[in-house]
A and B are shown apart, each in its own frame.
Chain A
């Protein structure tokens, strides 16, 4: 693409990425579809989880499959307390030799909404231990600001509950978060389709992290491409600057020289 019209790069903790799409590795129909979808997404950052090795499995080889080609971002999914999340992050740091972590501290199994109290506590502890913390959080400007003040490298507000595909439920909050925070804002969770991703970027969010919307689509590879294009379109629109909304029409064709009978 022509450099003049390409999306601007964005940086997290001093590391520059050309793709604003962060993609998950869960719930694809099979491994080949996952690999093809990740390829089509153009994502550079790919999320993974940390789980106990079971006696039978002995390792599913995901690290070997993806480790060389992508920036693997471990999550702390399934953690309900700050203590569990911190230990999971430390295990992930050891397993992947990365100090980056997608911090999730879940408050409730049914909504998967964050437990803000534990999230803030875990974020503070992990930042103190030298982690690059990317917290999954509510679309709450106050929480986001607190996470930024603690030293998180980005904030990742949800658009809607994880896996719900409900889209951007509160665009006004995202706008306020954009105005209040200077760290990158990555909308994490709730995106259902490409237009949702575009809206988030149009609002000034810096990136999208999603999984289910691609993995659960009828054609995950095509949806990965659609999301990529939606994200690029949204970012272009944000950089271009939309026109103000007006109640009445404004003629687009000049009226000078029109015939008068």
Chain B
């Protein structure tokens, strides 16, 4: 079997040690880090994502695969050079100011990294200014915001407005959390809404592909 296919297969079964060892072997075979990432790891995670969506596997299986992905990524990241930046994109995430609930946001972070995104997690109780400044400094394509409280939801709109005011109109925004909805996303001008971590990853993937 092709070594990249093997990486993909072990990744799908969440076997991080094998994935890392095969990544080393692939490098020894002079395969480019970009190709290993794209045709081995990201391809494997795409299968995992589909299986999860179809209820064939459960969240722990996805997270194990994500962990294997992250381990291999750490090895590859320093080797990715110049225009060889096959990461799916850069995403800034955080729970908005006034809100300390970060379980869902953390899950989104793990799954985004696992799917092949570069993730900057600002943590919880994040002021709008910090979202905007980080997105600008890091040249992020997406800002993801989470809130669990109806009282903190309005902060999401502040971030969306502030990005626009700062001229960062190319930065896409995605929101999530129990009190928000696709309708609320539209209402505040956010680009999309993820109803769970899996859906957030998918929405972000679509936004960066557009």
Does chain A bind chain B?
no
Using CB atoms and an 8 Å cutoff, list the residues of chain A in contact with chain B.
none
